[in-house]
């Protein structure tokens, strides 16, 4: 049997299983780890299937802080690359062939999100690192019709944009999960915003998340790990209101990463607070 045939057979066997419900969420309890990379390695011991990493996106106000994306590329991805066949990254390329709608949406998103220029370079570096490690990179596909749907006279419809991004991630993850995987490389890695990978989304945000649907699609072989840089989450009122925030603040120690499991399939990993 060819590699492709074996991979399709394995995928068929997985998809033939009943789809389990996500495990019950637990109260937040913190533990310390020597580093974020070691924390992730422990969380993913024996894992197969889809692992979706989420971050708090950086903006120009926090550009001086080393991003979660850079830390993932340099510290965490190298430890997982030998076990991964595919990497899906939350980004897409403006091709320039969708006319005024594409140009308007691209300009509006750049202005509103205030992503620093370094972010694009960091994404390119991660995609290049994946190719060098033999991990097939994937990005999102946005059609001309979707650009037209997003472009409104009063500006981009950001509720629609977040919904569309979650849907595009869902489609890209399914495509990667059904693609052949190399022997000994069972993982499909995903990197993007923590809003989209959430296995337990708040009802008001559920339309933005692919987590529950991919958990069902993968018949339970889905894991969510949020990677947070302390100085980035501390400035956000929504993060300070989360139940895990006070637990992290009490547990944090210089030079140590903090892990807060939310269930056997979901966890938060906070980088050491003094790490630059």
Q: What is the pLDDT of residue 254?
A: 94
Residue 255: exposure state from Cβ atoms within 10 A (0-12, 13-18, ≥19): exposed
pLDDT band (50, 70, 90) for residue 1 = very low
Q: Record the pTM.
A: 0.88
pLDDT band (50, 70, 90) for residue 9 = low
pLDDT > 90 in the chain, percent: 66
Handedness of CA 189, 77, 256, 31 (dihedral sign): positive
Q: What value does the mean pLDDT of the chain take?
A: 88
CB 225 within 8 A of CB 43: yes
Q: Evaluate if residue 15 carries a pLDDT over 70.
A: no
Q: What is the pLDDT of residue 189?
A: 98
Task: Tell me the DSSP string of 143-207.
Answer: -HHHHHHH--TTS--HHHHHHHHHHHHHHHHHHHHHS---TT--EEEEEEETTTS-SS--GGGGG
pLDDT band (50, 70, 90) for residue 208 = very high
Q: Evaluate if residue 172 carries a pLDDT over 80.
A: yes
pLDDT band (50, 70, 90) for residue 266 = very high
Q: Out of 7-16, 89-98, 115-124, 205-214, pick the least confident.
A: 7-16
pLDDT band (50, 70, 90) for residue 60 = confident
Beta strands in the chain (DSSP E): 31-33, 49-55, 84-89, 136-138, 187-193, 222-228, 257-263, 266-270
pLDDT band (50, 70, 90) for residue 100 = confident
CA distance 123 to 132: 14
For residue 236, what is the DSSP state? -
Q: Out of 92-96, 143-147, 171-175, pick the least confident.
A: 92-96
Q: What is the pLDDT of residue 111?
A: 66
Beta strands in 25-68 (DSSP E): 31-33, 49-55
**Per-residue pLDDT tens for 125-143?**
999 999 999 999 999 988 8
Between strands 266-270 and 222-228, the pairing is: parallel
Q: Evaluate if residue 110 carries a pLDDT over 90.
A: no
Coarse DSSP helix, strand, coil percentages of the chain, rounded to the nearest 5 percent? 45, 15, 35
* Structural domain boundaries in the chain: 28-270
Q: Evaluate if residue 69 carries a pLDDT over 80.
A: yes
Radius of gyration of the chain (CA): 19
């Amino acid at each position: 049997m060819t590699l492709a045939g074996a991979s399709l057979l394995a995928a068929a066997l997985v998809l033939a299983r009943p789809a389990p419900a996500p495990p019950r969420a637990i109260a937040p309890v913190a533990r310390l780890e020597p580093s974020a990379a070691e924390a992730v390695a422990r969380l993913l011991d024996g894992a197969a299937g889809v692992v979706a990493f989420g971050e708090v996106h950086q903006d120009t106000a926090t550009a001086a802080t080393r991003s979660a994306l850079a830390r993932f590329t340099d510290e965490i991805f190298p430890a997982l690359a030998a076990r991964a066949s595919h990497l899906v990254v939350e980004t897409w390329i403006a091709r320039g062939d969708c006319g005024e709608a594409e140009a308007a949406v691209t300009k509006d998103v750049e202005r509103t999100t205030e992503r620093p220029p370094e972010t694009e370079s960091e994404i390119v570096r991660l995609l290049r690192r994946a190719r060098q490690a033999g991990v097939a990179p994937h990005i999102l596909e946005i059609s001309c019709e979707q650009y037209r749907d997003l472009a409104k006279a009063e500006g981009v419809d950001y509720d629609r944009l977040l919904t569309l991004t979650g849907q595009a991630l869902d489609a890209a993850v399914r495509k990667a999960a059904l693609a052949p995987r190399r022997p000994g490389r069972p993982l499909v890695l995903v990197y993007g915003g923590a809003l989209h990978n959430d296995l337990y989304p708040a009802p008001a945000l559920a339309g933005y998340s692919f987590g529950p649907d991919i958990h069902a699609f993968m018949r339970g072989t889905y894991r969510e790990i949020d990677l947070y840089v302390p100085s980035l989450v501390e400035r956000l009122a929504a993060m300070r209101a989360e139940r895990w925030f006070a637990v992290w603040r009490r547990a944090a120690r210089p030079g140590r990463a903090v892990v807060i499991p939310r269930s056997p399939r979901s966890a938060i990993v906070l980088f050491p607070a003094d790490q630059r």
